[in-house]
Amino acid sequence: NENPENRVDLDDPYERICELIDHEALREDCKTYGSTPIREVFERLAADDPATSEIQKPYYAPGISKGMAAFDGFNWGYDPFHFNAPEGSYSTNPDGVTRIIELREMVKALDEVGLKVVVDVVYNHTYASGLSPFSVLDKVVPGYYHRYDPDSGALETSTCCDNTAAENAMMEKLIIDSVILWAKYYKIDSFRFDLMGHHPRYVMENLLDALAGLTLDKDGVDGPNLYIYGEGWNFGEVADNRIFKQATQFNMGGTGIGNFNDRLRDGVRGGNFTGNGRFQGFANGQYLFPNEDAGGDAGSDNGNNTSNDTGSNTGNSQHLAHLLEQADRIRVGMAGNLSTYRYINRHGELVDGGNEMIGYTLLPQESVNYIDKHDNETLWDNTQTKLPLDMDMDARIRVHMLSNAFVTYGQGVPFYQMGSDILRSKSLDRNSYNSGDWFNAVDFTLETHNWGIGLPPGWDNLDRWDEIRGFLTNPNISVNRNHMELAHRLFLEQLQVRYSSPLFRLATADEIHKRVAFHNTGPGQAPGLIVMSISDGACAGEPLDDELDGILVIFNASDEPQRFDTGTSNSSGNADTSGNVGTTDNAGAASITGTARTTGTSTTGTASTTSTAVTEGTTGKTGTTGIFGITGMQLHPVLQAGADPVIRTAAFVDGVFTVPALSAAVFVKPAGGSQGEFPCNPHP
């Protein structure tokens, strides 16, 4: 709402609501609270009941056709009216040129402190069409700029609203001209395309060509280096290339245009709460510490559970199958989600990344790796629904940081939702596009946190209010300033690790094929353990990092410490002479330090189906021929000096790595005077 006279915000007196929304359901509250600021009223209500529904009355009371959401100053901006005009509500004066000048000043100021600016562009639909007072394009050429059902003639609305038709030449021109305007005159550095899959691929390629024509000398813009990415989802009337070849995930390989990588996302988190309930992901307990809804047989010794360990808290064979499938998704995702990346899958097969429709990129820059963004629940919120209800806060924070580590340490483009570093919450609101500042706020002072500030708006959450109420009132979930400060420090340390070496940011598919390898793979892998090496050794060719010969990252999603044996130690053990290293397991052995967990007749604590399990208190190791070059490893200096005392216990001794529970440990091999040895991918 650009007009302050018709707006109500959280710092206004509560009685202001009734001035704009005259409804009997609100009059008594307006009389009761009077001049008390709306924010203060909401704070009182949430303090009394973290799952209160009273906050929703101004938004959602029965009979209210236009609630507070229609009058506040908040909106995501997905209601395109004029594509080339900055939003006026953010300017000091929405009339005239002030909004233009102030946006340019903002971009310039951000650039001066080293920050690039991305604009989320929404060309796939308009706010209105036809005879609506907010219709624009139909006033230019009626019926041309939008997409219609060829049989019924009805306007297509699969995006949410009135779909545009970029397959029509002048709509394509509008998109390209508009992006050029934002790049050239506002110096925008990157463009994120909402529902990019609703546009033809050739439109996106033509846009790249147009941007490539912008130069610093002529336009003040380095056009070829502007980054384009978007949502390559495949749905609606255009699905499966029905009308044109879409700009969807599996169609965009080789273009250099980024796509959101939901393969890695769903492997890590197990899907979103709204769509998948409490179904767990790799990082939040699948098989390893099942939640209360994982099945009555989870962790018990009965006919439906193949676990023979009655003391185990792990899930059943179905949960294990889910976990191993999720691990494969994550491995491919961390290898830039390349369709051409070769690895050993959970069945012991050497496959390409495109197997099982996982990988779809041909260049690492085409994979935008993320766990959460503005759509659906935040990472913190979604994770709380997956975890066992009795888990303590320290463990919950570790799960959150482990989840982000898969993004930070993977090849491709890392993407985070604002506030993920401070455990951002929207109190389980799955669609906060119009939920106002109360649910969308991020308090960078860390004085407040948005978990348990009332039930989220009913328009997209009502069906799950009963479940949400249970989570918001769980006494084991209570975020304070210390938690947020710790999470923020750990997040920054992860970023410092990523940017300490170019090996985390390989630029080509060939470099990833050659340098990135995964260990502890195949059917006998230790559950919950992903081991990734990145080589800068002699086998990789020209060195990229003068300081290192290689990096090994171990992700331990178990709630117990785990060990990974490279097979190079001098301790006694059962050697595997089968020569099968790299078939069922492409090097290395792993174990859970505790009681060996078994499924059926095979021990899941082994990393090779022909070897002996490692259990706590033994010196035996899973037999392998070793991982050549894995010597002289040390925990990354940033983690050694970091804020997490738990990760500082990670160690490499006599060829064996030990990693604490719920941790991502990064080990490095410092380079000597010349390029040393470090294993490359055996399946380039």
Catalytic positions, written as ranges? 194, 231
| CA 621/CA 162 separation, integer angstroms | 62
Beta strand extents in 138-248 (DSSP E only): 162-163, 190-193, 227-230
Nearest of 232, 240, 161, 156 to residue 199 by alpha carbon: 232
Residue 496: phi, psi to the nearest 5? -60, -40
Which residues, 6+ apart, have CB-to-CB distance to 190 below 8 Å? 116, 117, 118, 119, 226, 227, 228, 229
How many CA within 13 A on the CB side of residue 486?
17
Q: Considering just the CA atoms, what is the radius of gyration of the chain in Å? A: 27
Nearest of 181, 192, 2 to residue 104 by alpha carbon: 181
Strand, helix or coil at 621?
A: coil
CA distances from 101 to 97, 105, 106, 263, 481 (A): 6, 6, 9, 41, 37
Is residue 388 packed enough to be buried (19+ CB in 10 Å), middle (13-18) or exposed (0-12)? buried
What is the amino acid identity at position 310?
Answer: T
Q: Six-digit token pair at 191?
A: 């463009």
| CA 409/CA 175 separation, integer angstroms | 34
Say if CB 71 and CB 6 are below 8 A apart: yes
Beta strands at 634-635 and 602-603: parallel, antiparallel or unpaired: unpaired
Q: Look at the chain and count its residues.
A: 684
Which residues, 6+ apart, have CB-to-CB distance to 39 below 8 Å? 10, 11, 438
Say if CB 413 and CB 419 are below 8 A apart: no
DSSP 161-183: SEEB-TTSHHHHHHHHHHHHHHH
Helix runs in 473-540, H state only: 481-498, 509-515
Residue tagged 């021109």 (tokens): 173
Handedness of CA 19, 20, 22, 26 (dihedral sign): negative
Which residues, 6+ apart, have CB-to-CB distance to 254 below 8 Å? 362, 363
Beta strand extents in 105-251 (DSSP E only): 118-121, 125-126, 162-163, 190-193, 227-230
According to DSSP, the residues that pair with 518 across neighbouring strands are: 532
Beta strands at 548-556 and 602-603: parallel, antiparallel or unpaired: unpaired
Nearest of 679, 319, 671, 336 to residue 510 by alpha carbon: 336
